[in-house]
Amino acid sequence: MTTTLHAINALEESIGNTPLVPLLWPSLPPRVELWAKAEWRNPGGSVKDRAARAIVEDAFKARQLPAKRLLDASSGNTAIAYAMLGAIRGFDVTILLPANASQERKAVLRGYGAEVIETNSLEGMDGAIRSARALAEGRPDRYCYADQYGNPANTRAHYEATGPEIWRQTRGRVTHLVAGLGTTGTLMGAGRFLKERARDIKTIAVEPDDGFHGIEGLKHLPSTIVPGLYEPSLVDRTERVSTEEAYEMARWLASRHGYFVGPSSGAAAVAALRLAETLDEGVVVAIFPSGGERYLSLGLW
């Protein structure tokens, strides 16, 4: 038991406190800094470790886990975080995800021992969410429905940790926060914290430019179920990025900066650079959600 508890503590203590890494472009104005929050450095490989840990902690406090199976819909990264925590904490995990999710994500999930239920690719994440809700409603005795898109623990994780980290790492100089919209928890939580510290800080949401896109992890809000966590009043500006732009930027970041990241990070970089080039001065921080290893089968490289 002591060894198990030690392992749990070591794992959870390694979530968060990810570094800020510089993004250097010749086109940046002299007094503008551009930084990326390297969330792929989390032990589960993505920003979703933060929300998953908070959601799991709440479920344990409510004594839903480990008595039931944790159930949720995910495009992959939150699912992997759940599965990682389930493997070490001793609870079972069932994940519903679109069949066209990358093969690497599915393989990692199965490696951690999670049950993977694939849903109709044409229905995207909305289809996976509807299927998860139906499964949870049909078997409340069996499943603890995590509901990452509506669970306030998701936003709270970023309010209590991601936002304060950015504030501390920039020594309070951050002027703009750029983050993709998936569950929207990252931008809502970190953005709220930063705006409470300085009202002039701007939050920039990043989403695909249409509903039929290939940027895994991001949602095109006008054409999908809007997450319950989303608060439009916290968004100062929305940048829409095409799949091609996101992929091209991901390739550029790997080959020129050494940051091997996925397409959602590429999308955040595109939006952050667009913004930075319009500023006279500022400190722009973009959230890079995950690394590129889970997207090899998508043909980015």
Q: Are 206 and 271 in contact (CB under 8 A)?
A: yes
Q: Give residue-wise pLDDT tens across range 52-76.
A: 999 999 999 999 999 999 999 998 8
pLDDT tier at 102 (50, 70, 90 boundaries)?
confident
Amino acid 7: pLDDT? 53
Amino acid 4: pLDDT? 53
Do 21 and 88 share a domain, yes or no?
Answer: no
Residue 3, domain member (yes or no): no
**Is the pLDDT at 137 greater than 50, yes or no?**
yes
Say how far apart CA 50 and CA 90 lie, in whole Å: 19
Of 145, 177, 198, at which residue does a domain stop? 145
Do 139 and 169 share a domain, yes or no?
Answer: no
The answer to whether residue 48 is catalytic is: yes
**Is the pLDDT at 103 greater than 50, yes or no?**
yes
Do 134 and 241 share a domain, yes or no?
Answer: no
Amino acid 5: pLDDT? 55
Do 34 and 178 share a domain, yes or no?
Answer: yes
As a whole number, mean pLDDT of residues 152-165 equals 98
Q: Are 245 and 273 in contact (CB under 8 A)?
A: no
As a whole number, mean pLDDT of residues 24-45 equals 95
CATH number (domain holding residue 93): 3.40.50.1100
Q: Give residue-wise pLDDT tens across range 220-260.
A: 999 999 999 999 999 999 999 999 999 999 999 999 999 99
Q: Which two tokens stand for residue 18?
A: 């990810």
**Is the pLDDT at 296 greater than 80, yes or no?**
yes
Say how far apart CA 86 and CA 53 lie, in whole Å: 10
Residue 266, domain member (yes or no): yes
State percent of the chain over pLDDT 70. Answer: 97
Please pick, among 46, 74, 102, 264, the residue that the annotation labels catalytic.
264
Amino acid 299: pLDDT? 79
Please pick, among 37, 46, 48, 202, the residue that the annotation labels catalytic.
48
Residue 276, domain member (yes or no): yes
**Is the pLDDT at 298 greater than 90, yes or no?**
no
**Is the pLDDT at 46 greater than 70, yes or no?**
yes
Say how far apart CA 45 and CA 58 lie, in whole Å: 22
Do 169 and 129 share a domain, yes or no?
Answer: no
Do 198 and 136 share a domain, yes or no?
Answer: no
Residue 65, domain member (yes or no): yes
Of 83, 113, 145, at which residue does a domain stop? 145
Residue 217, domain member (yes or no): yes
Amino acid 2: pLDDT? 46
Do 174 and 294 share a domain, yes or no?
Answer: yes
Averaged confidence pLDDT in the chain: 94
Residue 269, domain member (yes or no): yes
Amino acid 1: pLDDT? 44
Do 275 and 168 share a domain, yes or no?
Answer: yes
Of 145, 173, 206, at which residue does a domain stop? 145
Q: Give residue-wise pLDDT tens across range 82-101.
A: 999 999 899 999 999 999 88
Do 136 and 62 share a domain, yes or no?
Answer: yes
Do 25 and 173 share a domain, yes or no?
Answer: yes
As a whole number, mean pLDDT of residues 126-153 equals 97
Amino acid 8: pLDDT? 58
The answer to whether residue 202 is catalytic is: no
Q: Between 5 and 10, whose confidence is greater? A: 10
- Domain residues for the domain of 98 are 48-145
Do 34 and 52 share a domain, yes or no?
Answer: no
As a whole number, mean pLDDT of residues 266-276 equals 98
Structural domain total, the chain? 2
Beta strands in the chain (DSSP E): 20-22, 31-38, 69-73, 93-98, 115-119, 143-145, 176-180, 202-208, 237-241, 281-288
Residue 157, domain member (yes or no): no
Residue 5, domain member (yes or no): no
Do 105 and 200 share a domain, yes or no?
Answer: no
